[in-house]
């Protein structure tokens, strides 16, 4: 299996200049912080730059997910393989979310960061405003997974709608046998086009990072950070403990892979998330990088999109600690029974909030409004620092989904371990130009033959990952 950067005969390998892009992102973040401190009013006006960049990335998410899932599901021999991956993924997500809730609850009860704070009228009104924009009921969430039409699933902005339609089409292509092969080949070409467009959009990352960071520093200032430092620092430490001790240990014991080498490989994605405070900004790149790292398409196609709605480790920790903080600050501490009841209620209500900046606070307000309405006003106490906590939520959610993809690929036999070792050691670098990994072989698109269809559909030669 050759490197993705190996030049083909008669072809000159393009020079990789993307490292300049991420150096520019770091410089842009530093300049954004400086502008936010020196000229806060001007910095607030730069917010559309960050919002626009995130919107460009989100524009690409549904086409990326659709192509990845259809190719992954449509090219495997049996639907049982996809069902095994999906079932294991959901079981894993529930288990890890429970661990995250437990850790947040323990740390929140130890720190008691809300002691001594006072709720003023402006903070109370801010809390009510957040509750007004909160998520709907769990039943509405489940019904909302069904799109208005098959085509609208690509334009709705709802990841789970795309996931549902892509799975249905993938299974249908399985059943079509040989006649489905031309459709799969066409979708492969569409996927290449989509990733090319995404690679072009990424060159706007420095501008987006500058606008996003400058705006948040200009809006919050330093005062909010000082007054609520205990909660914010406690939350950051709790997220780090969960990622490195719980998830990192699980990854090392189960696969022998170091979490530090995996995070080094995903360093550019972490920088993008911190710059934009949205884990969705790195979702398309996570899909491409996991495939390059040796995880097969069905596993990546099912685990990553599903994880972005159900594997909310950072959000679970945030909801736990923020709820305990608010109850302490309002002088109405929650009993252990009330904590468990409220937090599991909000974990269910939070589905779909992982990638959206600020959605965690809306979920918190909505959960309190439905379960303990007398605590809703207290949400206003953390409005000032929620943007900084949003970054930790997004990074933790992203980390959990990356590790979950490797683990589930390993457990289901969908991980090419030699390829993963080559990638993490730097021997097979990711192709930033195309973001499609063929491991140096373009011939798979020109394969004329597809194996005869079995009872469950075609047995199609799959791309080596």
What is d(CA 42, CA 56) in angstroms, rounded to the nearest whole number? 23
Burial degree of 140 (CB within 10 A; 0-12, 13-18, 19+): exposed
| Amino acid 336: pLDDT | 78
Question: Which of 118-132, 324-338, 430-444 is predicted least confidently?
Answer: 118-132
d(CA 463, CA 460): 9
DSSP 124-178: HHHHHHHHHT----HHHHHHTTS-SSTGGGGTSS-HHHHHHHHHHHHHHHHHHGG
What's the half-sphere exposure (Cβ side, CA atoms, 13 Å) at 87? Answer: 7
3-state secondary structure of 364: helix
Specify the DSSP element, H or E, that contains 457: strand 457-458
Lowest mean pLDDT among 85-99, 108-122, 272-286: 108-122
Residue 147 has pLDDT above 50, yes or no: yes
Other CB atoms within 10 Å distance of the CB of residue 402: 27
Which of the residue ranges 36-45, 142-151, 422-431 would you say has the lowest mean pLDDT? Answer: 142-151
Residue 125 has pLDDT above 70, yes or no: no
Mean pLDDT rounded to a whole number for the chain: 74
Average pLDDT over residues 5-22: 53
Contact, 298 vs 414, CB < 8 A?
yes
For residue 454, give the H/E element and its range: strand 453-454
Chain segment 276-335, per-residue pLDDT in tens: 777 777 888 888 899 899 998 888 888 888 887 777 788 888 888 888 877 777 777 777
79 and 174 Cβ atoms separated by less than 8 Å: yes
Q: Is the pLDDT of residue 456 over 60?
A: no
Within 10 angstroms of residue 115's Cβ, the number of other Cβ atoms is: 12
The Cα 246–Cα 265 span in angstroms is 20
Return the structure tokens found at 400: 């959990």
pLDDT in tens, 204-231: 888 888 887 787 777 666 555 555 667 7
CA distance readout (Å), 166 to 72, 198, 375, 417: 10, 20, 41, 27
Q: Tell the CATH superfamily of the 18-428 domain.
A: Sodium:dicarboxylate symporter (1.10.3860.10)
- Phi and psi of 245, rounded to 5°? -85, -50
- Coil, helix or strand at residue 223: helix
Distance set, CA 204 to CA 21, 24, 58, 174, 314 (Å):
9, 10, 14, 39, 27
What DSSP letter does each residue of 268-290 carry, written as one string?
A: HHHHHHHHHT-GGGGHHHHHHHH
Contacts of 352 (CB under 8 A, 6+ apart): 135, 141, 158, 159, 160, 309, 359
The domains of the chain are located at: 18-428
Asked if pLDDT for residue 67 goes beyond 60, the answer is yes
| CA gap 406, 293 in Å, rounded | 9
Q: Looking at residues 237-251, what average pLDDT do you find?
A: 90
Does residue 76 surpass a pLDDT of 80? Answer: no
């Amino acid at each position: 299996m050759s490197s993705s950067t190996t030049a083909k005969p008669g072809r000159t390998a393009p020079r990789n200049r993307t490292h300049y892009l991420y150096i520019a992102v770091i410089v842009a973040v530093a300049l954004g912080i400086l502008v936010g401190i020196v000229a806060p009013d001007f910095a607030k006006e730069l917010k559309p730059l960050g919002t626009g960049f995130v919107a460009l990335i989100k524009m690409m998410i549904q086409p990326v997910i659709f192509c990845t899932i259809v190719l992954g599901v449509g090219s495997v021999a049996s639907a049982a393989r996809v069902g095994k991956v999906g079932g294991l993924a959901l079981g894993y997500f529930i288990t890890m979310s429970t661990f995250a809730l437990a850790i947040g609850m323990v740390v929140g009860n130890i720190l008691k960061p809300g002691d001594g704070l006072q709720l003023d009228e402006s903070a109370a009104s801010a809390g009510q405003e957040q509750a007004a924009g909160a998520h709907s009921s769990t039943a509405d969430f489940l019904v909302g997974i069904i799109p208005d039409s098959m085509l609208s699933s690509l334009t709705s902005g709802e990841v789970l709608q795309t996931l549902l339609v892509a799975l249905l089409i993938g299974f249908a292509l399985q059943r079509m046998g040989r006649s489905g092969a031309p459709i799969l080949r066409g979708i492969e070409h569409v996927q290449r086009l989509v990733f090319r467009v995404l690679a072009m959009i990424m060159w706007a990352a420095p501008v987006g990072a500058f606008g996003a960071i400058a705006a948040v520093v200009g809006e919050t200032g330093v005062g909010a950070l000082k007054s609520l430092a205990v909660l914010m620092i406690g939350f950051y430490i709790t997220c780090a403990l969960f990622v490195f001790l719980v998830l990192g240990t699980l990854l090392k014991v189960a696969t022998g892979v170091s979490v530090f080498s995996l995070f080094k490989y995903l360093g550019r994605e972490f920088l993008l998330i911190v710059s934009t405070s949205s884990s969705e900004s790195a979702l398309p790149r996570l899909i491409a990088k996991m495939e390059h790292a040796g995880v097969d398409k069905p596993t990546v196609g099912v685990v990553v999109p599903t994880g972005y709605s159900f594997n909310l480790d950072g959000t679970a920790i945030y909801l736990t600690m923020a709820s305990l903080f608010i109850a302490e600050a309002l002088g109405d501490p929650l009993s252990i029974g009330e904590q468990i009841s409220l937090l599991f209620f909000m974990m269910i209500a939070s589905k779909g909030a992982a990638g959206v900046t600020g959605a965690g606070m809306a979920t918190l307000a909505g959960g309190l409004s439905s379960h303990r309405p007398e605590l809703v006003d207290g949400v206003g106490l953390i409005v000032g620092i929620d943007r900084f906590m949003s970054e930790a939520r997004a990074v933790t959610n992203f980390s959990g989904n990356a590790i979950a993809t490797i683990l589930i690929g390993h457990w289901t036999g969908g991980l090419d371990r030699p390829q993963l070792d080559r990638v993490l050691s730097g021997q097979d670098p990711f192709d930033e130009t195309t973001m499609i990994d063929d491991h140096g072989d373009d011939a798979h698109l020109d394969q004329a033959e597809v194996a005869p269809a079995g009872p469950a559909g075609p047995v199609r030669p799959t791309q080596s990952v």
